[in-house]
Amino acid sequence: MTANPTTIIAQGTFDILHPGHLHYFSEAASLGDELHVIIARRENVTHKEKPVLPDRQRRDMVAALEMVDEAHLGHTEDIFVPIERIDPDCIVLGHDQHHDEAAIADALAGRGIDCEVRRASAREPRYDGELLSTGHIVDRILELRG
């Protein structure tokens, strides 16, 4: 008898893909059999600068990554709608995401969604000057070309 497949969700804005995102996706994918990534819609991003790239472009870039089984755009009004549809075994939050694990777990339980909530580890720069943040990449672009 084989174990049931495990479905993992990662989520975020993913405006400009960088090695930190790849680390997050790889770590999340290693925890299960299927990795689904939910990409926040521009209109729902309120905790930081709005994404530069359009929603569908960010989704398509994430979907093209080998470790991602499916990429989904978030719901415009309720962030839990795609989570209910996907029915994950685990949601992996990025190491620096503003979400509170306990609050997410409580909200999931309140909706009858039985899944674990974990936080991914950080990835340290591997060489001098490596950028692992979209904000830092944008700052560097502005510095060099602005």
Q: What confidence tens digit (pLDDT) does each residue in 5-46 have? A: 799 999 999 999 999 999 999 999 999 999 999 999 999 998
pLDDT at residue number 1 = 42
25 is in an annotated binding site: no
21 is in an annotated binding site: yes
6 is in an annotated binding site: no
pLDDT at residue number 2 = 45
Q: According to DSSP H, which parts of the chain are helical?
A: 19-29, 55-63, 81-86, 101-110, 134-145
13 is in an annotated binding site: yes
Cα-based angle 142, 137, 50 (whole degrees, multiple of 5): 85
43-98 confidence digits (pLDDT tens): 999 888 899 999 999 999 999 999 999 999 999 999 999 999 999 999 999 998 88
136 is in an annotated binding site: no
pLDDT at residue number 47 = 85
Quick one: fold of 7-145?
Rossmann fold (3.40.50)
Tell me if 74 sits within 8 A of 41, measured CB to CB. Answer: yes
Residues 10, 69: Cα–Cα separation, whole Å: 11
